[in-house]
Amino acid sequence: MKKLLVLLTIALVVFPFHYYVVKAEEYLTYQEIVLDNDNAKLLKYFTDNEYENYYQEIKKKKFIGWSIGIVNSNEELEFISETKLKIINDGYSTIKHNITLLTKAETKYQISASGSVSVSIKGDIKKFKGGLDADIKASITYTKNVTSSEEYEFNIIVDPETYVSIVTRGKAEVSNGVAKYYLFWIETKKGGWETFTVTTEYYEIIKEKMT
């Protein structure tokens, strides 16, 4: 008897809690993010002590405006954003399945912030508020990629006692740090900032034995 089970999966991510709640975009719900540099980390993993240490490294005060500190600059990473489809064959016969997936047109530049740093996201226009956006883009290598809609067709063969997953995998760069806002030389705001730029994205088919 041939059995076919198609599962659409939704990734669930549990965020570590601390005072600096991250106001973020889609990339923080990715199933997996692995940075090439073991010493680099995403903004959501900064500890309270790390925040305070990074703030202390910002020495330059301003009459009015932001002073920023860079913690990680254009760090490369690989990710799996989501599992698009999973096909399980727990029967005795080989299954053949044709799958068509459509990607949407989207901007591949994303931003996040914490503390008193605010973001404005209106469609594809994404900025840090209060003049901070220009300061950050002037301090890191900034690119904004836009992809168009594309259709992909897969002819999948699922052997008995195996399952096949189609995942969205890719590469990206992340930059992050902290910032302080001064008014008449007095610090009035502070928080963290982060940019995330996807450089490559593609579908991958993974076939594994059932255990």
d(CA 210, CA 193): 42
Answer for the pair 201, 170: CB distance below 8 angstroms, yes or no: yes
Q: Cα–Cα distance between 41 and 59 in angstroms, integer?
A: 23
Residue 23 has pLDDT above 90, yes or no: no
DSSP letter, residue 139: H
Give the residue carrying structure tokens 């996807």.
Answer: 198
Amino acid 20 reads Y
Average pLDDT over residues 42-53: 96
* pLDDT(3) > 50: no
How many whole angstroms separate alpha carbon 113 and alpha carbon 28? 12
Amino acid of residue 60: K
Contact (Cβ atoms closer than 8 angstroms) between residue 201 and residue 118:
no
Q: Which of 19-28, 61-70, 184-193 shows the lowest mean pLDDT across its residues?
A: 19-28
Global confidence as pTM: 0.79
Rounded to an integer, the average pLDDT of 125-152 is: 79
| Furthest-apart CA atoms within the chain: distance in Å | 77
pLDDT > 80? residue 130: yes
Model pLDDT, residue 145:
62
Q: Can you tell me the mean pLDDT for 136-150?
A: 72
pLDDT at 107: 61
Q: What ranges make up the beta strands (E) of the chain? A: 5-7, 32-35, 64-89, 95-103, 106-107, 109-113, 119-122, 125-128, 146-147, 150-158, 162-183, 186-209
pLDDT digits (tens, 9 = 90+) for 158-194: 999 999 998 999 999 999 999 999 999 999 999 999 9
Q: Average pLDDT, stretch 32-50?
A: 96
Amino acid 55: pLDDT: 97
